[in-house]
Structure 1
């Protein structure tokens, strides 16, 4: 796992030994020195409303790459959208833990025409197909045609089987990942108040939404408020201009919406009465707009004992405004905070008991936790360095290292199944939502193209890279998505598959399938063949259940 940069001659004996492109599962991380079996053609299965991808590994030494648009033919009007990127590499200096490793790891997805990476890294194309809900089911076929230095390589056949069932455009699992206008503006060299920075924020938020992720933070600017006769008069014009596209489903053609939105506290509201009036006005505005997103107040992140009084006071103020603004607190179950949180969000490792040193002060399985909370309280979770270790590199004590190993993870230098596992885990545990503190954290501290090591992990809090006009291969400011964000999206689509299968009357099979992928938060299947096999079985089961359900809807008669 920790192989360094290899000579091109050695690479030739490993990946893509034949002088033609090879297709590798999107669940693999293609690295120098890691031998992977490739195929000559790509075969994808995707629901309507889903995106699926394959990796095309080009022959060693390939340069000057150009890709012709992938066109497909099939039984209906082809609305499938095909996108192609080239995978760029980070040179990891400190592994996240023993499951990570030093050397080159793929993560940023850059334009195909961007300059090639350092000598010795493979040239890998990430080819993604997205099927809109309107796409007719059936088999669609085409070929990816690639040129290198003006000469055609062997074309790569693509077959896409579009299933009859539909995934919702908006995630069924509420989530909230942080993103900041100020972090984005800083790394892109823009003024936060500039129209260009605001448009760029919208692009970042749009990419999150396209990957089934909702954002908190954004511009972080609260709507202006004044108080008249004890009532809050709030000017929501700027807030609505920023947030409406994501709350009303107009930001993307799919109609996807944010599942959540946080109340932006306003320092103009000074007294308890003013704060309550302001929160009440915020909730009333959401009601009047008909926005479906779960509004919440982010009270305190990982409160310490000395913060208990503050959290209790905040919760009391918010609740004075009514029941429409639940209070979110990121903490394990804590008697000192009992009754303060309407959304309790412990870290992932607080849900799964494990032998050895404890990395959470109160480990309680999800169902047990629910029994200890008031019925109205929702349970979210989030990842932190308590999963991969907060110091970086393997721990000296093997027992400590074991405790921090194998968790579901969003780190660059961890296997793709670990990046993807939160969706199946959420289905199994029954949590109500997921929180993640940031997606552009390293924008504040360093050049993400060289280093995203934070909090002991490579990529903790950073899921994007800044595309700027000064960088070769880019002509404008734009967000560059990561492989990890793709894997997170795929995990959320796994959640939709399992949830749909459960809704169609097959909950036992859905749970059995999920357990084959993620037996606990730290026991994740890393064999990509098993993930693909489970997906095939779930797809087959779903297709039969969906067609039977559609038959009943049309005829009113259950099939024999």
Structure 2
């Protein structure tokens, strides 16, 4: 850590000596004074169905910035259009742990025309290319043209190699991240019942889905139900209007779908018998609609010993209604809750034993955990403050600080590879899914633009910032995505690469590649160059295997 901070100031000096835009990896976090070696041009590779990005660092003290639309030209006059944002900064006052630090950290992705950050912060553009499944493979080229304070900057050449292989639009790894209409409305100063708030909820859900993330919570409103002679009569019209586009694949042009959604309890169902009938009607509605998403019941979150009877009762009611609706319980293996969970979700640190104090009361590697569960039980995991420490800042006891360091993390003030690591980790471990409690938690407690410190970490429970018309640079209410959401998405795309390699007969290679990035939950490679090298090797191997597979399909010859 000390060596990195000792190099502060060199980036600014380099740019001052050669005031031309420089391209750096999307896996770097460009901060004031941090030394980064830039390139004069951007070279990207992406699969069909994938998004990839580069960062363009501009000369210091840019105030008025204008960026011309960028469309790369490729085979047969086809184009590949780029999206461009400017990176804004969050002022971190308390570091998440010793891997973090105080001061400005890049995270919100704001419109280019938004006002510049505080003096001394870099001007960085996040330039993203997304290739639809129908994109013609080949080389695409163009140049990013910009003006700063009315004067042209040197154009930045961009080239992108669109690969022939395709990633699925819907995540192959089931996941469920929380979001709430009521939190969104509060963060934007709107009434939750207003049409504007409900349209905004849709925008947030679309942003999650476009990053391969499924949501639970949403409006939280259950479909109205009444009981006639004990039979439920359910009005699904409002419920379907909210969820159907995300469950049927019509919300995005890619056809991406939610992989999961949660059962919404209904206060109108008062007795156990009525609750069971309501759950049964909900499950039957899903079957009739042909929705593929896993409908699950989220039991009491992180139950304490006194909550055990409640969780057992919840599981019993749901199973009495329909055994196809799994009950999710967020807990390590617990004999008191045995048999209650169909999806068991311990925190990440419960899977990886390490020397020193334990941060989970029952640490078991996944294989050992599965051996103690019934065969039908799925195992998910999730991050919590146990990944960075729940008090904020480095712990006084070095042994405690060590066990809270190194974990895959979604914190703002942690290296980008830690933000990206959950996808490769999921492939390497064989876990069945990922859960996360919220993506807009800070909207309830503070101004996210000024502070995201929750549960001892900067960004715990929040991946968005509220863009409002009252904020300079915004003309309407809109979700502002974070760099961390981009890194999370890139990790899920890594998962797809590894899955595709495995499906094409490259299981050993895929596992070795994943292990070079994430040896365990707390042993994550933080050098962006290593991540990029592994990605290049996976791309080369995938392209070769894909082309052989396609040839075999056409010729009827089995690939070697």
| 1:418 is the counterpart of 2:418 | yes
Contact preservation (8 Å) 2:9, 2:33:
no
Report the CA distance shift for 1:258/1:16 in structure 2 as closer, same or farther (over 3 A): farther
- Compare 257-266 and 56-65 and name the one that shifted more: 56-65
Deviations 1:397-418 (A, max 9, x none): 0000000001000000000000
Distance 2:208 2:78 in 1: 25
What corresponds to 1:435 in structure 2? 435
Deviation, 1:367, is 1.2
What corresponds to 2:241 in structure 1? 241
Distance 1:392 1:416 in 2: 19
What corresponds to 1:80 in structure 2? 80
What corresponds to 1:492 in structure 2? 492
Deviations 1:123-175 (A, max 9, x none): 00000000000001000000000111121100000000000000000000000
Distance 2:17 2:206 in 1: 39
| 1:336 is the counterpart of 2:336 | yes
What corresponds to 2:525 in structure 1? 525
Contact preservation (8 Å) 1:392, 1:455:
yes
- Pairing 1:25-424 to 2, within 5 Å after superposition: 25-424=25-424
What corresponds to 2:558 in structure 1? 558
Deviation, 1:10, is 6.7
Contact preservation (8 Å) 1:15, 1:34:
no
Distance 2:448 2:363 in 1: 34
Deviation, 1:3, is 11
Report the CA distance shift for 1:320/1:155 in structure 2 as closer, same or farther (over 3 A): same
Q: Secondary structure at the match of 1:267?
A: coil
Distance 1:365 1:557 in 2: 41
Q: Secondary structure at the match of 1:130?
A: strand
Deviations 1:49-107 (A, max 9, x none): 00000000001122211100112111145352310000000110000000000001000
Contact preservation (8 Å) 1:2, 1:102:
no
Report the CA distance shift for 1:493/1:76 in structure 2 as closer, same or farther (over 3 A): farther
Contact preservation (8 Å) 1:26, 1:53:
yes
What corresponds to 1:452 in structure 2? 452
Q: Secondary structure at the match of 1:20?
A: coil
Report the CA distance shift for 1:73/1:457 in structure 2 as closer, same or farther (over 3 A): same
What corresponds to 2:514 in structure 1? 514
Contact preservation (8 Å) 1:5, 1:103:
no
Distance 1:2 1:419 in 2: 22
Q: Secondary structure at the match of 1:199?
A: helix
* Structure 2 residue runs without a partner (length 5+): none
Contact preservation (8 Å) 1:465, 1:481:
yes
TM-score, normalised by the number of residues in structure 2: 0.98
Q: Secondary structure at the match of 1:86?
A: strand
Contact preservation (8 Å) 1:80, 1:132:
no
| 1:464 is the counterpart of 2:470 | no
Distance 1:377 1:328 in 2: 10
What corresponds to 2:540 in structure 1? 540
| Alpha-carbon RMSD | 1.6
Contact preservation (8 Å) 2:48, 2:134:
yes
Report the CA distance shift for 1:372/1:4 in structure 2 as closer, same or farther (over 3 A): closer
Q: Figure out how many residues of one structure are paired with residues of the other and give that number.
A: 559
Distance 2:150 2:540 in 1: 42
Distance 2:60 2:425 in 1: 38
Q: Secondary structure at the match of 2:222?
A: coil
Deviation, 1:18, is 1.3
Deviation, 1:295, is 0.5
Report the CA distance shift for 1:396/1:319 in structure 2 as closer, same or farther (over 3 A): same
Distance 2:550 2:204 in 1: 37
Q: Secondary structure at the match of 1:90?
A: strand
TM-score, normalised by the number of residues in structure 1: 0.98
Contact preservation (8 Å) 2:71, 2:81:
no
Contact preservation (8 Å) 2:72, 2:79:
no
Distance 2:15 2:173 in 1: 37
Distance 1:32 1:406 in 2: 23
Deviation, 1:281, is 0.4
Distance 1:434 1:551 in 2: 36
Report the CA distance shift for 1:479/1:4 in structure 2 as closer, same or farther (over 3 A): farther
Deviation, 1:15, is 5.1
Distance 1:85 1:491 in 2: 20
- Compare 67-76 and 536-545 and name the one that shifted more: 67-76
Distance 1:3 1:102 in 2: 16
- Compare 224-233 and 450-459 and name the one that shifted more: 224-233
Report the CA distance shift for 1:79/1:269 in structure 2 as closer, same or farther (over 3 A): farther
Q: Secondary structure at the match of 2:105?
A: strand
Contact preservation (8 Å) 1:3, 1:103:
no
